Chains A and B, each alone.
Chain A
Amino acid sequence: KAGVTQTPRYLIKTRGQQVTLSCSPISGHRSVSWYQQTPGQGLQFLFEYFSETQRNKGNFPGRFSGRQFSNSRSEMNVSTLELGDSALYLCASSLGDSTSGYTFGSGTRLTVV
């Protein structure tokens, strides 16, 4: 079956702009989680959506937001980009919760210049 698909794979944006990243989970998976990965901070949890509702949220500023659609596809948005937002953004899907493990996409590499 198809894996988790993230688009685009690479993005270059300018400070102050906004960006939207997309994630299509594995068919049947209703939970989508987003992580930011940087060399300095490692993997940091952004938020999780389940059945179109944000179920958990990490410690990120309000510039980071997300949503989930009825087909479980999810988007995350970052407004007013800062240089420090440069990172690999990873999306992970699961059936319902984290106890069975996550399936990750290949990520979107965002570079802010």
Chain B
Amino acid sequence: GNSVTQMEGPVTLSEEAFLTINCTYTATGYPSLFWYVQYPGEGLQLLLKATKADDKGSNKGFEATYRKETTSFHLEKGSVQVSDSAVYFCALSDPNMRFGAGTRLTVKP
């Protein structure tokens, strides 16, 4: 069945460092792809999405491009802040949302 695999964490970065969290998917067809973020004690928030190949989703400085040839949807941010510390989930629509295991990001000042 369809699935999502994302890099294991935790990831620890210094403020203003470049962030990449890898995500690859296995799917029949072309599902929509998503990144969600979960802050401590809260539910998930939709961060960005892409609905077809070569689409780039972006929000709050985060970006991810739907790559059909590499079946990937890596999350990137050029300069992370302490406030970006959270758990990030890659997901696809299958038809319900199917999530990766999550990657915990800690940004130190």
What residues of chain A have their CB less than 8 Å away from a CB belonging to chain B? Answer: 4, 6, 33, 42-43, 45, 48, 56, 90, 92, 97-107
Contacts and interface: CB of A to CB of B under 8 A. Distances in A.
B97 interface: yes
Contacts of B41: 106
A99 B44 contact: no
A98 B43 contact: no
Contacts, number: 53
Contact of B93 (A90, A92, A97): A97
A11 B99 CA distance: 25
Q: How large is the interface on B (under 10, 10 to 19, 20 to 34, 35 or more residues)?
A: 20 to 34
A23 to B, nearest CB: 11
B102 A42 contact: yes
Nearest to B41: A106
Contacts of A90: 43-44
A41 B82 CA distance: 27
A46 B46 CA distance: 19
Interface string B68-109: 000000000000000000000100011111111110000000
Given A42-B101, A104-B44, A106-B43, 16 more contacts: A6-B43, A33-B96, A42-B99, A42-B102, A43-B99, A43-B102, A45-B96, A98-B94, A99-B32, A99-B51, A99-B93, A102-B44, A102-B46, A102-B97, A104-B36, A107-B42
16 contacts: A4-B43, A6-B43, A33-B97, A92-B43, A92-B44, A97-B95, A98-B94, A98-B95, A98-B96, A99-B51, A100-B32, A101-B46, A101-B49, A104-B43, A104-B45, A106-B42
Q: Report which residue of A100, A102, A105, A106 has the largest number of chain B beta carbons within 10 angstroms of its beta carbon.
A: A102
B25 interface: no
A104 B101 CA distance: 17
B66 interface: no
Nearest to A91: B43
Contacts of B93: 97-99
